[in-house]
Structure 1
Amino acid sequence: MCTMQTGTQMTKLKGKKKRLVRFFYLDEHRSCIRWRPSRKHDKAKITIDSIHEVREGKKSEMFRRYIDNRFDPNCCFSIYYGARVKSLDLVTTNAEAARTWIHGLKYLMAGISDEDCLARRQRTRDQYPFYPWVSINFIFVIEPSLLLKWLQQTFSEADKNGDGTLSIGEVHQLLHKLNVNLPRQKVKEMFQEADTDENQGSLGFEEFCSFYKMISTRRDLYLIMISYSNQKEVMDLQDLARFLETEQKMRGLAREHLVDIVSKFEPCPENLQRLVLGIDGFTNFMRSPAGDIFNPEHNQVNQDMSKPLNNYFIATSHNTYLTGDQLLSQSRVEMYSYVLQDGCRCVEVDCWDGPDGEPIIHHGYTLTSKILFKDVIESINKYAFTKSPFPVILSIENHCTVPQQKKMADYLKEVLQDKLDLSLINTQEFKKLPSPELLKGKVLIKGKKLPATLDPDAEEGDVSDEDTENEDIEEESDEDDQPQVNNLKLSQIICYIFKYSILFFLHLIAIWLYGYLSFCRKRKTMRLSRALSDLVKYTKSVRVHDIETQACTSSWQVSSLNETVMNQILQLKPGELVRFNQRQLLRVYPSNYRVDSSNFNPQPYWNTGCHMVAMNYQTEGRMLELNRAKFASNGNSGYVLRPKCLNKGAFNPTLDDPLPGHKKTQLVLKIISGQQLPKPKDSMFGDRGEIIDPFVEVEIIGLPVDCKKQQTRVIDDNGFNPMWEETLVFNIQMPQIALVRFEVWDHDPIGRDFIGQRTIALRSLLPGYRHVYLEGMAESSIFVHVSLFDNMGKVSTKFMVNSDKEAFFLCLPSSPIRIKHRSQSCPPKHGSSKTPMVNRKIDLQCQKTLESYSSQVGPIPNGVCLSESSSVSSGSTDSLEFVASVAPAKVGKDDGTLQREMKALFEQKMREIRCKSPLFFEDELE
């Protein structure tokens, strides 16, 4: 590590002939690799957690371009990194330096992976004895290094002059970057309080940590803590147990488990001795994986995997080999390792005749680069089961001649060996497909198969090629085909149109030419090798002629349809499509017009039970985020069990009540606060831009009847710790298939800018107070309270819950709710008429439910509100005040009395513990 931090001079390969000598080094926090000189210094780095693989020798595509073999393989290595799996190809001056970097990087990657695995393990059953479905065996471990690493990186970036300290000016710049809007006098007071060493006028790292603690103390968590601690500033074990059982719905709590929590999360030695949690310990606990909204059970496989294969949704990739668009981008072998490690279980290979008798893979009739079929199979063999043990389906689009088909078959058998499933099966005897459990560790070949009537001794034969993807040329595109340019600048839009209009035109010519040649052929058939045909067992490719008649055919086949054809079927015959999918596997792939490799919305196809919805994994965005959320609910294993109604019986997803008499769900979300929300990535001035005005939008994605959006009000000039405290209510007809998407936006007078999101399957949500960490942002989150209610048929207006003995902590179920209207002290954002509006009008049935809730809905027991007032709009209930039928002795029954008392108590307690947090100004508390 010392050698890497000192730095090494290496040659960076760029293009076929360009070589750049650069000085590479590991930064002081061991979080990224940097190099110099570089004209783009800020971009001349690769973060360790973005690295997928470090490969020794000359094995990358870039090294293959250097045919002179002048580089010693022992001095060469490649770093694969980023969402597009780019490669950084380096050559050292000696083999020892290469080994140092290769082993050092692998060590650092293992360290990052261990922390990520630790976070995941902390959310799994071994770390959670409190839930009734989780084992009691428990040792809770908290890993503080992630926060420490973030603080070190933040401190380093804020230290502009590199003297190892932060001046008051650098602190002001940092606060602006962190979206903290504080008066300069307040910042000066906190700065002076944190500046305790001899070096007055600047903050060292430890002093900076103290300063950061002052501005980050959580008002919302403090109010929750004192509510459950009889207004004490610490929680004892009994208080903690009551909170976990009442709010977090944890069961089976034993004293040793509570002691473990205190010992792992409480930083104060005095509190550790007394076995109590202070505000810092409680904050650590709630910010840990224990307070995450995602169910830890779902980080592992938690569904029955013994059902037939066609009872599952299967994570599927389209044109897996491509790194970008469908016409000019690079084809890379590394994309297969990338998608397989991302949980994908069905990958695609487009096979064509290559030089020297070697089959190649590329996108036909385009300018994409070519890779060897053999290299792809070797990559699949290496990475197929590193992340998931369940079967991988290799979807072969075959354009090769018979000799090269035989070579493909030889490679499949030689490389995959016993992983290749060659079971002797009788399709007449076994009507059902085998299960993922039975096919663990196996690779299935999806492709054409010779007809059973062909002479068994024949080495090749004719098969139809009418179901190839290029055959279906759509005449009109769905609205999802259009590029999403809502948030693009004018220059970006012009470049986008110019680039893709050329690509679109050229691709149309290629499609037309292929279609014309296909039309001119006398027969739409192709020659298929017996050797390749015999490798196809459970997944024979067949053309769809009529979904109604084919619904009664064999289960041992797979059909592929493009999105335009599927959209027509969804409109005309959704029920018949469900029935078709109950019998056999169906794959849906993107339109040929998606030249930019954009993705369609997968949810409508999941609604009808489509098993393999093929996504362009190289294109990040909303649609791929939905796909990730779908398969994360079963340990990211690549298989998710479909709901029973999609596997058996009649079902029409387009009806208003598709499952009459079945359980529905009401989701009640209290959006409480946000933490460390950054500026938008595409902000014109970057970190120097204005402080954001955030709001949260929650969307349900599922059946058409369930798809709804609601949003909070806008908070002015506060991205560091905004407070919304608004309740959103959703009625969901089919919760088994629904996704919940949390989006954070920055309001702007002329629109809105995207900040971040987190999408989670509804079945993976945990009840109680939870943090929703934005995807790809370690410290950014929103704090919510989750309540889920199951009801038969129509949603009831009352929810019966178990009442607690102490009314101070839980109001009785019969307690009505009073809706507090927006006051003048908390007006809407000026100019908000231009804010993008969504339909927040809720149905009458949902409005009735707002008249009576159990106290479980409220984010603070007894209705303590975190903001002085909140807004009310259709579908949103703000500042719910409970009028308890039995009030505690110390609490008056007048409206708002408890709220005022708690705020006064809060101000007093904060003064006692010398908390100078900017959240608690006197003018806010009066």
Structure 2
Amino acid sequence: MPKPLAKAPAGSSPNRRLTFNVHGTEAISSLKRALNIGLFLAPTVIHLQGDGVPGGKRDLYLSAAIQRSLRQLFSDLCRGEPTLTLKNFRNFLEIEQGEQPDKASTMLTEDTYRFEQFLEIWWIKFGLEIERPISIGDKDLTKPISNYFIDSSHNTYLPSHQWGGKATVETYKRALRQGCRCVEIDVWDNDTAPSRDKSLAGSARGIPRSERSQKFSTNTLHTAAAHIKGAVDDKIEQTRQFLGVEKAHSYSPRCSKFDVSSPSSGQENGLTLGLADTDTDANAAADEKANAEQRSGRSKTVLPRDEPIVMHGFTFNQPIGFRQVCKAIREVAFETTHLPIIVSLEVHALSDQQESMVQIMKEEWAGFLVEKPHEACPNGRMPRLEDLLDKILVKVKKASLSTESSIAAGSLSPKGVAMDDDAASGPEDDRSTKRPPPKVPICENLSNLAVYTHSEHFVNFESSSAKTPSHIFSISENRILDLWESKRDELFTHNRHFFMRAYPKAMRIDSSNPDPSQFWRKGVQMVAMNWQKWDEGMMLNKAMFSGEHGWVLKPTAYRSNGHELCHQTTDLSHRTFDLIITVLAGQHIPLPEGMPRHKSHSFRPQVKCELHVEKSEERSGNPGEAGVKLRSIEWKKQTSSGKTDHPEFGMENRELCFRGIPKVEESLSFVR
């Protein structure tokens, strides 16, 4: 079944009624072509005038079930008249649908409306096209960058789970093209470099001999393990091809455990009013082709012998070159939007390879890399989003700097943070539970690139580093939830003014994701998601950032006010919320796997709906009496069963009613 998802629009009426027509995986573009006449109740065309649509007239193919439902709705609104009056249409949009009066008034310019006009304005302008990307010109880009939620990824180089496979640049390209604006790169020394005495190399200065030996041995062992696994994988693939054995694969949501491609947009995947599918055959086929090329050796990665590499430390992940990743990022960085990118570096390489990293980034990102403060940001002020269009920011730990060199660096960050002991480095994923990797000193040239986004190890909210404008705390999902229980107001106040990044807990080796909305409601700007897996968490992430170019302005109470730090509590101005979703009919609902087309008459689809809002225990941070967690309040509804893959849901149980939901922040609430 499709897994629909929509975001409750910000600033809408607290009493909202949405009417949905459910589409399957068939794309809108496909529906506009002649369809197979053998399909049950093949859709027929409705001719729209296409006002304002390039090319003039527009045809909409709808099944008989959907047309009956829509014509009945139109007839009810007309109240016995042959056409729909302006007053009745406006009441429907504003009262029933909860649309903003100014938007409704802009769309309604006639005194009466025929059925086709009604469909074009309501279903097209307020429905099918609701997922179109917003124009950057219509976004508020005037706030400091810490006042926005940012679409973020975790271990972006991985194509599947956290412990194996081959790192690939394609995952960066896919994520950036689909709106991600914060990517992660784990950088390591290249052990395939020409032989050199690493115990005496300049890269090892400042690291005790005992730690140097541990560093080199673990890195070398990891690389060897990755190459051995790669060789075994290639041999298995060669044997499979020699024997002519087909690789079994299913693209159904149930079988595609890992899929780096998620729905690209609502309109492209046959969506109505924000409903989305789980994946597309085209994307899945492209991924399988790329994976097959890797397995067969046609796209083998050739690592440079003198440059750092990207890999997942202490696992069997096979590496790629750091320059390759930088090239891929530059290639697609601003292909779909001009809003900035944050590159989060997890540095395990020593200083000589760090210098190489700096050189590579400056070469590959020339003209885009932020290397010094913006001229419009005096006195340590963080830049506005509009100040950083087409820019790449680097997030990395700061080096130990002298007073003079700190001033020369021109950074907003403090003078003397010594080691890369950020939670985002090494221990973040707890890949080496018995002995975490040694802390790597960051060289000054790399450190200087962290102009507005420098990593800080979290100690407490009272430390001096917690007040530095450019700092970013990277904290695991579990620890943030613990802080919410013990330091709720301090956490929320910090995140109104400064950056915080949440990353998945160590046990998510299958690349699963947490519910990101619980962290957004705590003001966390960056919730690093495993884009390798399309699950409930990624659906919520998609709903949050769909059409928003990867940056979403926080609600007013979640933002800094431009004055001195103030300790505003989380007692925000929420409202009681009513939501009614009416499910009328559907067409091309995907049949269960293995069900032949001629058996579709026995298919009984349902529509299930979940409302994701802040729960009372989540809001209070209170673990409950005697330390027992409060029971979650679930908001779930479902329709009665329809018939066939072109169902009509009738009158019984087609309304999914959510009434009297307390203290809702609409822009951080979601429908799935």
In structure 1, the partner of 2:70 is 221
1:351 & 1:592 partners in 2: Cα distance? 19
Secondary structure in structure 2 of the residue aligned to 1:248? helix
Are the structure 2 counterparts of residues 153 and 589 from structure 1 closer, same or farther at C-alpha, using a change threshold of 3 Å? Answer: farther
Q: Give the drift of 1:296.
A: 6.6
In structure 2, the partner of 1:101 is none
1:668 & 1:243 partners in 2: Cα distance? 21
Are the structure 2 counterparts of residues 389 and 517 from structure 1 closer, same or farther at C-alpha, using a change threshold of 3 Å? Answer: closer
1:255 & 1:605 partners in 2: Cα distance? 36
1:285 & 1:584 partners in 2: Cα distance? 42
Equivalent residue for 2:557, pick from 645, 651, 656: 645
In structure 1, the partner of 2:503 is 589
Residue 511 of structure 1 pairs with residue 432 of structure 2: yes
8 Å contact kept, 1:317–1:344: yes
1:674 & 1:256 partners in 2: Cα distance? 26
In structure 2, the partner of 1:352 is 188
Residue 570 of structure 1 pairs with residue 484 of structure 2: yes
Secondary structure in structure 2 of the residue aligned to 1:469? coil
Q: Give the drift of 1:304.
A: 2.3
8 Å contact kept, 2:426–2:436: no
Residue 664 of structure 1 pairs with residue 583 of structure 2: no
Residue 245 of structure 1 pairs with residue 194 of structure 2: no
Q: Deviations over 1:319-361 (max 9, x none)?
A: 1111111111221112212111111111111111123211111
1:651 & 1:630 partners in 2: Cα distance? 25
1:462 & 1:666 partners in 2: Cα distance? 47
In structure 2, the partner of 1:722 is 649
Paired residue type of 2:551: Y
* CA RMSD, 1 decimal: 3.8
Are the structure 2 counterparts of residues 672 and 468 from structure 1 closer, same or farther at C-alpha, using a change threshold of 3 Å? Answer: closer
Q: Give the drift of 1:364.
A: 1.0
Paired residue type of 1:711: K
Identity of aligned residues (%): 24
Alignment map for 1:255-294 (pairs within 5 Å)? 257-258=109-110, 277-278=114-115, 282-283=118-119, 286-292=122-128, 294=130
Alignment map for 1:326-345 (pairs within 5 Å)? 326-345=162-181
In structure 2, the partner of 1:464 is 419
Alignment map for 1:264-413 (pairs within 5 Å)? 277-278=114-115, 282-283=118-119, 286-292=122-128, 294=130, 298=134, 302-354=138-190, 355=192, 356-413=305-362
In structure 1, the partner of 2:455 is 541
Secondary structure in structure 2 of the residue aligned to 1:613? strand
Paired residue type of 2:533: T
Are the structure 2 counterparts of residues 339 and 716 from structure 1 closer, same or farther at C-alpha, using a change threshold of 3 Å? Answer: closer
Q: Give the drift of 1:597.
A: 0.9
8 Å contact kept, 2:86–2:108: no
8 Å contact kept, 1:470–1:511: no
Normalised by the size of structure 1, how large is the TM-score?
A: 0.47
In structure 1, the partner of 2:635 is 709
Secondary structure in structure 1 of the residue aligned to 2:382? coil
Secondary structure in structure 2 of the residue aligned to 1:316? strand
2:117 & 2:374 partners in 1: Cα distance? 60
8 Å contact kept, 2:351–2:442: yes
8 Å contact kept, 2:152–2:529: yes
In structure 2, the partner of 1:921 is none
8 Å contact kept, 1:551–1:580: no
Q: Give the drift of 1:146.
A: 6.7
In structure 2, the partner of 1:734 is 664
Secondary structure in structure 2 of the residue aligned to 1:218? helix
Runs of 4 or more, structure 1, over 6 Å off, are 425-429
Secondary structure in structure 2 of the residue aligned to 1:327? coil
2:109 & 2:183 partners in 1: Cα distance? 44
In structure 1, the partner of 2:48 is none
Are the structure 2 counterparts of residues 221 and 310 from structure 1 closer, same or farther at C-alpha, using a change threshold of 3 Å? Answer: same
Q: Deviations over 1:160-218 (max 9, x none)?
A: xxxxxx6xxxx4xx439x9x9xxxxxxxxx9xxxxxxxxxxxxxxxxxx99x9783463
Paired residue type of 1:516: R
Paired residue type of 2:155: N
1:563 & 1:313 partners in 2: Cα distance? 16
Are the structure 2 counterparts of residues 575 and 241 from structure 1 closer, same or farther at C-alpha, using a change threshold of 3 Å? Answer: same
Q: Give the drift of 1:231.
A: 2.6
Paired residue type of 1:629: A
In structure 2, the partner of 1:685 is 595
Alignment map for 1:421-570 (pairs within 5 Å)? 421-424=370-373, 430-453=379-402, 456=405, 463-469=418-424, 471-472=426-427, 511-512=432-433, 515-516=434-435, 518=437, 525-549=439-463, 553-570=467-484
Are the structure 2 counterparts of residues 149 and 713 from structure 1 closer, same or farther at C-alpha, using a change threshold of 3 Å? Answer: closer
Paired residue type of 2:114: L
1:367 & 1:314 partners in 2: Cα distance? 30
1:302 & 1:667 partners in 2: Cα distance? 28
1:541 & 1:289 partners in 2: Cα distance? 44
8 Å contact kept, 2:577–2:664: no
5+ unaligned residues in a row in structure 1: which ranges?
1-144, 156-165, 181-189, 191-208, 260-274, 475-507, 519-523, 743-926
Q: Deviations over 1:855-911 (max 9, x none)?
A: xxxxxxxxxxxxxxxxxxxxxxxxxxxxxxxxxxxxxxxxxxxxxxxxxxxxxxxxx
Paired residue type of 1:150: L
1:449 & 1:427 partners in 2: Cα distance? 23
Alignment map for 1:879-890 (pairs within 5 Å)? none
Q: Give the drift of 1:554.
A: 0.8
8 Å contact kept, 2:491–2:522: yes
Are the structure 2 counterparts of residues 427 and 669 from structure 1 closer, same or farther at C-alpha, using a change threshold of 3 Å? Answer: same
Secondary structure in structure 1 of the residue aligned to 2:318? coil
Secondary structure in structure 1 of the residue aligned to 2:557? helix
Paired residue type of 2:548: N
5+ unaligned residues in a row in structure 2: which ranges?
1-25, 45-58, 95-100, 193-304, 410-415, 561-565, 620-632
In structure 1, the partner of 2:30 is 149
1:533 & 1:470 partners in 2: Cα distance? 15
Are the structure 2 counterparts of residues 466 and 617 from structure 1 closer, same or farther at C-alpha, using a change threshold of 3 Å? Answer: same
Paired residue type of 2:641: I
2:463 & 2:501 partners in 1: Cα distance? 18
